[in-house]
Amino acid sequence: MFKFVLIASLLVAVALAAPAREETEAERVEREEYEKYQNENAQYAFDSKVDDKINDGQISRTEEREGGTVRGSYSYFDGFVQRHVEYIADKDGYRVLKDEMKDVGDGPQFNPEGQADVQGSLIGKYSIKLDKTDDEKHYKDIHA
């Protein structure tokens, strides 16, 4: 058995040490055309949001891509400031279209009776609360 493992290991080492085959000009052109096609036709969209009424914070983000153009926004609230940013990334690069920020308070206010709601296009929606039966104050999922 040991000889088999040794021989197999040597064969793998030799295979990994072999030089990579150079891409031909035709293969390079074909790959670049396919990558261009993929980029021109790419599409996705997602969003996420956390509304934390335990630790007094909020964050949200949305983004969508249509071909070579990505548009999105993000917002947050942390008890000190509230900020909202909208952006675009396209052939002209990344640009902020809107950036609003205002002071809102003296910091987050902890609420042990609060609830944190989480939702996203890929994860669905759920909520959590503090687990008061645990001295470490861990969170528990309450499935909203």
**Over the stretch 43-96, which tens digit does the pLDDT of each residue have?**
999 999 999 999 999 999 999 999 999 999 999 999 999 999 999 999 999 999
Q: Is the pLDDT of residue 2 over 90?
A: no
Torsion, Cα 27 29 35 41, to 10 degrees, reads -130
Q: Is the pLDDT of residue 119 over 80?
A: yes
Spatial distance between the Cα atoms of 52 and 59, rounded to a whole number of angstroms: 9
Q: Is the pLDDT of residue 137 over 60?
A: no
Distances (CA, A) of 82 to 72, 74, 119: 17, 11, 20
Spatial distance between the Cα atoms of 89 and 35, rounded to a whole number of angstroms: 18
To 5 degrees, how large is the angle CA 104–CA 105–CA 110?
Answer: 120
